[in-house]
Structure 1
Amino acid sequence: MIRLGVMASAAVLAGAGAVWAGETDCGEARLVWADVKDSGSAAAIQSFAEVYAECPIYSQLAREQLVEFNGGAPEPEEVSAPNEDTRRLLVTDLRPRPEPDPDDPPYEPDYSDGEYECLAVASAPGQSPYINGVDWSDMDAEDAIGICADALLNADEADAEVVAAFARALLKGGELQMALEFSEMAAMEWSGLAMNTLGALYNEGEIVPEDDETAFGWYMAAADAGLSMGMHNVAYGYENGEGVAPDIDKALEYYEKAAFLGYDRSLLRLGLFYRDGTHVAQDMDRAVDYLERAADHGNVDAAVHLGLIYETGQNGYPKDIEKALEYYFQAAEEDDVVALHNLGSLTYHGRDGVPQDTQAAFVLWGRAAELGHMASQRKFGRLLHEAGEIEGALKYYRLAAEQGDDVATKLIREIEGD
């Protein structure tokens, strides 16, 4: 557990709005801001900014909205160059992790309602057996920061994983310095997510000097703490020689460890290895097994690869158009352009027992075209062309041509007579 009360005077905690040594109630600020932000009153927002000036998260939101009221845009925050002289936490600084007593009952965290809410909106999938977590792309950073800050405000002590989830939300929200500080606090308590976040920060090199070896060390610590995401990152490092000497056997070992825990990206990686015979002997049965498990965990890329395998019988695997459609539709529901395009082709041509349906192809190719898929832009343009909608056809032909589609360029010339 992290004693928030002891650290209340630390500059980073004050800066994050998580714990306050003074009298300003930043939990109250969050509730008041919910009403003030939509009031449409510059005076009310100005007053809020003055009253809650010591709550940086909410006072900053108020200042940005005031700038918008004045017809401008918020000035981008200056990111100071990494200070290489600043001593940061290293893996070697961590105290040995205490060995669990086999006679003790299994540890079950006693989260408050606020901590549960924070973990629900900010924790990573696989971080905790008690919370599903949220994918990075699905996280609402502003909402998660507010919820987690509120939870920490109301806690004398906080579970390290809650602090790590807050740091993850800060990272998503671009608050890199605070994300770094909170991750270091949680890493000191052996939070795997916090260690993985530190690895990412050292990989990116925006707030600390870029250092692949230090990043790999943090990923390994995250893996040792049981985080499947950390195991995947360790495997990737071994596979590609990032921060460590390449070692394919070690890479496979850690991909397998993460896959055993259901980490979809490792399942996908192993599936592609066995499909292509990369690093392992080609084995389509094992490839499909890994890819199906990844798709079951929501991995869109795995669903698309399965669709292709079942549609085309890749590497001699038995064709199954019903399964191909099942996986294509799974991916298409997430707006995957390859799945949308391939479904459009199947329905337009009526191949492999799929009923011919030009209108369905129009919808599918149109959606993929809007999302920027080159071949779909040309084919959607051709459907518009055949329907006599010349201007619409030209629009999509040009979009495809701009991406290097020579056929679309030829069709434009035919229409324009050049």
Structure 2
Amino acid sequence: MGDAPAPAKADAPKEPQRRLRVSDLRPRSEPAPDDPPQEPDYSDGEYECLMAAAAPGQSPYFDGVKWADMDAEYAMAICADLLLKDQDVDAEVVAAFGRSLVKGGRLEMALEFSELAAMEGSGLAMNTLATLYNDGEIVPEDDETAFACYMAAAESGLSMGMHNVAYGYETGNGVARDIDKSLYYYQKAAFLGYEPSLLRLGTLYRDETHVTRDMQRAVDYLKMAARNGSADAAAHLGFIYETGENGYVKDIERALDYYFQAAEQDDVVALHNLGSLTYHGRDGVPQDTQAAFVFWGRAAKLGDMKSQRKVGRLLYEYGDVAAALKFYHLAAGQGDDVAQQLMRQIEGD
């Protein structure tokens, strides 16, 4: 028989790993006003990662990609391949990788890489850390720490961070509620062209939330947001021009322009309203039931409850009862009482 194995040594107790503290976050110092901007010397690989994963407003030297448009698997692969070949990359590239990891659900890795980039002053990384502390899935939920990280991101010059600070002050999430400070940070982010802040300011002035109603100011903010690609802003503008909301001038041609801009991005409000305009032939818009069916049908497939009921009505009028019931069921499943009643009339319950 062979020798008995030596007894295993007990592992030494591990000290708990210290997480990054808010006090560790150091925003990059702002350059002197007279200094010319220094464009980073990114490699081809760094640019590829940034194009796939960076956030809008992260840097003036690349556009970034909206969260909804990011292909997380592609972005993670591109950035990981770069980091495997070269670990000496810019902090903003590491931060972009962290953002892609969050989108891809790799939260532990996202935390690790975002902390590394945050220590180098990346505003995006600080913002990513804030969302992780808000969610509380990979680190203990801590709204105050999250807000402090958002503030660090804002102080680094990240417009997204400014927007999140504004939202924190507006809602009192992680900080004492302060509407004046909220408006200040929304305006700072809007000045940098950040689409969500432009949209939020537009709706605040339209709805008389926290501020005196100012429809011209609301429309101005919404137009800037729409120019920056906001489908929500375009849909709001379409409604304002269609209805003359709150005394604003009615202009059906402009309304249609903005509705179509939003509809091209599958905005269900714009699609539904276009369906209503063409079905009823209001305000000089030619009556066109087939066009209405197309608009409502698109919105219905995207899950819009009212459009599902409208499509059901049209299908019933066309004599396709089975298809009509299908759309009534969809609308009723979302709580539409009218669709529920129409469905019962057909089924005889």
Task: Give TM class, smaller chain.
Answer: over 0.9
Contact kept, 8 Å, 2:278 with 2:292, in 1: the verdict is yes
Cα–Cα, structure 1 residues 415 and 88, in superposed 2: closer, same or farther, change >3 Å?
same
Q: 1:31 matched to which residue of 2?
A: none
Q: Check if 1:203 corresponds to 2:134.
A: yes
Match in the other structure for 1:34:
none
Deviation at 1:293, TM superposition (A): 0.6
Alignment partner of 1:273 is 2:204: yes
Cα deviation for residue 215 of structure 1 reads 0.4
Which position in structure 1 is the counterpart of 2:185?
254
Q: Distance in 1 between matches of 2:268 and 2:112?
A: 39
Structure 1: 4+ residue segments shifted above 3 A: 94-105
Which residue pairs with 1:142 in the alignment? 73
1:89-134: CA deviations, max 9, x gaps?
Answer: 1221245744646675422100001100100000000001111100
Give the aligned partner of residue 313 of structure 2.
Answer: 382
Deviation at 1:278, TM superposition (A): 1.2
Kindly indicate whether residue 320 of structure 2 is the aligned counterpart of residue 372 of structure 1. Answer: no
Residue in structure 2 matching 1:406, options 314, 322, 337: 337
The Cα shift of 1:406 comes to: 2.5
Partner Cα distance (2:25, 2:348) in 1: 72
Distance 1:234 1:401 in 2: 39
In the other structure, the counterpart of 2:275 is 344
The alpha-carbon deviation at position 151 of structure 1 amounts to 1.8
Residues in 1 aligned to 2:334 and 2:223: alpha-carbon distance in whole angstroms: 32
Q: 1:334 aligns with which of 236, 257, 265?
A: 265
Q: Percent identity, aligned pairs only?
A: 75
Take 1:326 and 1:351, find their aligned partners in 2: how far apart are those partners?
A: 16
Residue pairs, 1:313-332, within 5 angstroms: 313-332=244-263
Q: Deviations over 1:67-94 (max 9, x none)?
A: xxxxxxxxxxxxxxxxxx5421122124
Q: CA deviation at 1:414?
A: 2.6
2:292 and 2:26 mapped to 1: Cα distance? 60
RMSD of aligned alpha carbons = 1.6
- Structure 2 counterpart of 1:360: 291
CA distance in 1, matches of 2:201, 2:22: 29
Change over 3 Å in CA distance of 1:99–1:271 after alignment to 2? closer
Change (3 A) 1:88 1:389: same
AA at the equivalent of 1:387: Y
Q: Please name the residue that 2:216 is paired with.
A: 285
* Contact kept? 2:168, 2:174, Cα under 8 Å: yes
Query: What is the deviation of 1:410?
Result: 2.6
Q: Distance in 1 between matches of 2:127 and 2:33?
A: 28
The alignment's TM-score, normalised by the length of structure 2, stands at 0.92
Residues 101, 326 of structure 1: alpha-carbon distance in 2 compared, 3 angstrom cutoff: closer
TM-score, structure 1 as length reference? 0.77
What are the ranges of 5 or more consecutive residues in structure 2 without an aligned counterpart? Answer: 1-15
Rounded to whole Å, the distance in 2 between the matches of 1:396 and 1:256 is 43
Matches within 5 A, 1:58-207: 86-94=17-25, 97-98=28-29, 100=31, 105-207=36-138
Q: State whether residues 27 and 153 of structure 2, in contact with CA within 8 Å, keep that contact through their aligned partners in structure 1.
A: no
Relative to structure 2, which stretch is displaced further, 240-249 or 95-104?
95-104
Given that 2:204 and 2:218 are in contact with CA atoms closer than 8 Å, whether structure 1 keeps it comes out as: yes
Note the C-alpha offset of 1:405: 2.2
TM-aligned CA distance change 1:264 to 1:416, over 3 Å: same
Equivalent AA in structure 1 for residue 326 of structure 2: K
- Structure 1 residues 160 and 354: alpha-carbon distance in aligned structure 2, compared to 1, 3 A threshold: same
- Residue of structure 1 equivalent to 2:9: none
Given the superposition, is the C-alpha separation of residues 356 and 187 from structure 1 closer, same or farther in structure 2, using an over 3 Å criterion? same
Q: What is the distance in 2 between the residues matched to 1:383 and 1:103?
A: 65
SS state at 1:157 partner: coil
- Find the aligned partners of 1:139 and 1:261 in 2 and give their Cα distance: 22
Which sections of structure 1, spanning at least 5 residues, go unmatched? 1-84
Distance 2:313 2:34 in 1: 71
How far apart in 2 are the matches of 1:104 and 1:390? 71
Measured in 2, the distance between the counterparts of 1:109 and 1:158 equals 11
Q: Kindly tell me: are residues 104 and 273 of structure 1, through their superposed partners in 2, closer, same or farther at Cα, counting changes over 3 Å?
A: closer
Q: Distance in 1 between matches of 2:33 and 2:296?
A: 59
Mark the CA change 1:415 to 1:178 in structure 2 (over 3 Å): closer, same or farther: same
Say how many residue pairs are matched. Answer: 335
Structure 2 equivalent of residue 48 of structure 1: none
1:344–1:105 distance in 2 versus 1, CA, 3 Å = closer
Judging changes above 3 Å, is the alpha-carbon distance between structure 1 residues 318 and 207 closer, same or farther for their aligned structure 2 residues? same
Given that 2:241 and 2:249 are in contact with CA atoms closer than 8 Å, whether structure 1 keeps it comes out as: yes
Distance apart, 1:382 and its partner CA: 1.1
